[in-house]
C-alpha cells in the first residue's frame, strides 16, 4: 500500500513556521496583508475566499476581501487593483478566478504589481518561472512540489508525467519538475496512448478535472502520485485519481480531500509572507 502524503499534517507544520515568521515581522512593524478581490457571487469562490481569510487569521496575517458586484466594469475592477497596489499594508493581491464572463482576466492579472502577485499568474512571474529566475511560484504547483520533495527521493533524472496543461497547474508544474532535473512529459486531451506515458512515470501529477480518471493500471509500481483534482460528485469532493486502485500500486499518494488542496492555501500564505519580507528590502 502506498504511503500517504498528508497535506493536512504538512500544512500544520508549515503554517506553524509561517506564524512564527509573521510574529517576527510584526515586531519589526510589518503585518503581512493579503487582499482578495471577489467579483460576483459564485458559491465555490465564496468558499475558497472564506478559507483564504481563515488561513490568514490562523497565522496572524491581515486579510481583507474586496467584494465587487457581478456587473462591475473592467475599469472599476482595475481601479480597485490600483488602490491595493498602492496600499503599503497589503503585500499580496489575489483576484479570485473565474471572473464574470464580461471581464478580461488577463488584463486584470497584468494590472497587479508583480511583487504583490501572490498567485504567481502575472506574465512576468510566469516568465521568470520558465527562465529559472526568482519570481512568485503559483500556489498549487508549489504545494504539489513540496509534497513530492517530502518523499525524500532524489528527483534528478526521474521520469515525471503531468496530465493537464493549464496555465495555473499543468504548465507551472512541468516547469518546476524540470527545474528539479526531472525528465518531464506533459499530457493533455489530445495525447495519444496516455496510459503508456503514465506507466513510465516515476512521478505522476494529475490535473485533469475528471473524477477517478487515473486508475491503478495506469501507474508504475512504486510511483509518486499527486492528485490535484477537485471534483464535486454527489456532494462529495473527489480527486482525479481513483484512490482505491491507485494506492495499491503507487509508492506514495496524495489523498483528496486533505492533499494538494490544503497545501494550496498554505503556499498562498507562504507567498504572502515572502512578499512582506521583500517589502522590507
Ligand atoms: P483545466 O480544465 O484548465 O485543465 C484540464 C487539463 O486536462 C487540460 O489541459 C486538458 O488538456 C487536460 N485533459 C482533459 N481531458 C483529458 C484527457 N481525457 N486526457 C488527458 N488530458 C486531459 O483545469 P485546471 O484548472 O488545470 O484544474 C485541473 C483540476 O485541478 C480540476 O479538478 C481543478 O478543480 C483542480 N484544481 C485544484 C487546485 C487545488 O488547490 N488542489 C487548484 C487548481 C485546480
Helix axes 7-27, 139-149, angle to 10 degrees: 110
- CB-based contacts of 183: which residues, under 8 Å, 6+ apart? 157, 158, 159, 160
Asked if residue 82 has a cis previous peptide bond (ω within 30° of 0), the answer is: no
Q: For residue 66, what is the enclosing H or E element?
A: strand 62-68
- CB-based contacts of 48: which residues, under 8 Å, 6+ apart? 96
Whether the predicted pLDDT of 281 surpasses 90: no
Distance in angstroms (rounded) separating the CA atoms of residues 273 and 165:
28
Mean pLDDT of all residues in 174-178: 98
From 116, 117, 119, 227, active-site residue: 119
Look at residue 208 in the predicted model and tell me its pLDDT: 98
| Nearest residue by C-alpha to atom 22 in ligand 1 | 189
From 52, 116, 171, 220, active-site residue: 52
Look at residue 44 in the predicted model and tell me its pLDDT: 87
234 is catalytic: no
Look at strands 231-233 and 236-238 and give their pairing: antiparallel
52 is catalytic: yes
Q: Label residue 133 by pLDDT band (50, 70, 90).
A: confident
Distance of CA 17 from the midpoint of ligand 1 (Å):
30
| Model-wide pTM > 0.95 | yes
Distance of CA 62 from the midpoint of ligand 1 (Å):
31
Mean pLDDT of all residues in 230-239: 95
Mean pLDDT of all residues in 198-205: 98
User: From edge to edge, which strands make up the β-sheet containing 33-39?
Assistant: 62-68, 33-39, 92-95
Task: Tell me the per-residue pLDDT of 34-89, one tens digit each, with 9 for 90 and over.
Answer: 999 999 999 889 999 999 999 999 999 999 999 999 999 999 999 999 999 999 99
Instruction: Judge whether 30-114 and 139-261 match in fold.
Output: yes
Instruction: Among 189, 240, 258, 270, name the best residue to mutate to test ligand 1's pocket (greatest count of ligand atoms within 8 A of Cβ).
Output: 189
Distance in angstroms (rounded) separating the CA atoms of residues 238 and 229:
7
96 is catalytic: yes
CATH for the 30-114 domain, from 3.40.1360.10, 3.40.50.1220, 3.30.1540.20, 3.40.50.10860: 3.40.50.10860
Q: Label residue 132 by pLDDT band (50, 70, 90).
A: confident
Distance of CA 228 from the midpoint of ligand 1 (Å):
8
Task: Tell me the per-residue pLDDT of 99-120, one tens digit each, with 9 for 90 and over.
Answer: 999 999 999 999 999 999 999 9
DSSP notation for 21-55: HHHHHHHTT---EEEEEEES--HHHHHHHHHHHHH
Distance in angstroms (rounded) separating the CA atoms of residues 66 and 7:
29
Q: Class of the 139-261 domain?
A: alpha beta
Residues with CB under 6 A from ligand 1: 140, 163-166, 168-170, 187-189, 191, 194, 207-209, 228-231, 260-261, 264
Q: Output the nine-digit C-alpha cell for 141.
A: 504547483
Give the start-to-end residue ranges of the domains of the chain. 30-114, 139-261
Phi, psi at 159, each rounded to 5°: -85, 120
Question: How many Cβ atoms from other residues are within 10 Å of residue 199's Cβ?
Answer: 17
| Nearest residue by C-alpha to atom 24 in ligand 1 | 166
Mean pLDDT of all residues in 129-148: 96
Look at residue 217 in the predicted model and tell me its pLDDT: 98
Distance in angstroms (rounded) separating the CA atoms of residues 114 and 12:
28
Look at residue 146 in the predicted model and tell me its pLDDT: 98
Give the bridge partners for 136, in sequence order: none
Phi, psi at 120, each rounded to 5°: 70, 25
3-state secondary structure of 257: coil
Distance of CA 8 from the midpoint of ligand 1 (Å):
22
Look at residue 109 in the predicted model and tell me its pLDDT: 97
Distance in angstroms (rounded) separating the CA atoms of residues 105 and 204:
30
Q: Output the nine-digit C-alpha cell for 266.
A: 498554505
Query: pLDDT averaged over the chain?
Result: 97
Mean pLDDT of all residues in 259-263: 96
| Nearest residue by C-alpha to atom 30 in ligand 1 | 229
Query: Relative to the CA of 209, which ligand 1 atom is closest?
Result: 32
Mean pLDDT of all residues in 186-190: 98
Instruction: Among 207, 212, 266, name the best residue to mutate to test ligand 1's pocket (greatest count of ligand atoms within 8 A of Cβ).
Output: 207
Amino acid at each position: 500500500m502506498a504511503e500517504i502524503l498528508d497535506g493536512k499534517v504538512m500544512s500544520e507544520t508549515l503554517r506553524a513556521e509561517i506564524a512564527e515568521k509573521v510574529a517576527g515581522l510584526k515586531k519589526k512593524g510589518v503585518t503581512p496583508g493579503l487582499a482578495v478581490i471577489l467579483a460576483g457571487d459564485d458559491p465555490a469562490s465564496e468558499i475558497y475566499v472564506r478559507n483564504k481569510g481563515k488561513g490568514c487569521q490562523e497565522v496572524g496575517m491581515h486579510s481583507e476581501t474586496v467584494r465587487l458586484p457581478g456587473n462591475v466594469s473592467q475599469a472599476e475592477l482595475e481601479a480597485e487593483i490600483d488602490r491595493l497596489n498602492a496600499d503599503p499594508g497589503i503585500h499580496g493581491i489575489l483576484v479570485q478566478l473565474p471572473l464574470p464572463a464580461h471581464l478580461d482576466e488577463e488584463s486584470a492579472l497584468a494590472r497587479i504589481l508583480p511583487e504583490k502577485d501572490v498567485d504567481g499568474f502575472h506574465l512576468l512571474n510566469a516568465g521568470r518561472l520558465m527562465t529559472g529566475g526568482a519570481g512568485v511560484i503559483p500556489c498549487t504547483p508549489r504545494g504539489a512540489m513540496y509534497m513530492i520533495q517530502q518523499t525524500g527521493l532524489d528527483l534528478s533524472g526521474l521520469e515525471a508525467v503531468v496530465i493537464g496543461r493549464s496555465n495555473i497547474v499543468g504548465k507551472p508544474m512541468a516547469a518546476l519538475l524540470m527545474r528539479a532535473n526531472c525528465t518531464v512529459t506533459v499530457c493533455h486531451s489530445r495525447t495519444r496512448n496516455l496510459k503508456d506515458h503514465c506507466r513510465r512515470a516515476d512521478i505522476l501529477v494529475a490535473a485533469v478535472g475528471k473524477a477517478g480518471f487515473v486508475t491503478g493500471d495506469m501507474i508504475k509500481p512504486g510511483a509518486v502520485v499527486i492528485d490535484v483534482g477537485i471534483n464535486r460528485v454527489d456532494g462529495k469532493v473527489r480527486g482525479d485519481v481513483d484512490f482505491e486502485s491507485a494506492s495499491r500500486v503507487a509508492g506514495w499518494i496524495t489523498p483528496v480531500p486533505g492533499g494538494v488542496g490544503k497545501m494550496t492555501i498554505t503556499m498562498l500564505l507562504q507567498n504572502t509572507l515572502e512578499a512582506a519580507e521583500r517589502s522590507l528590502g
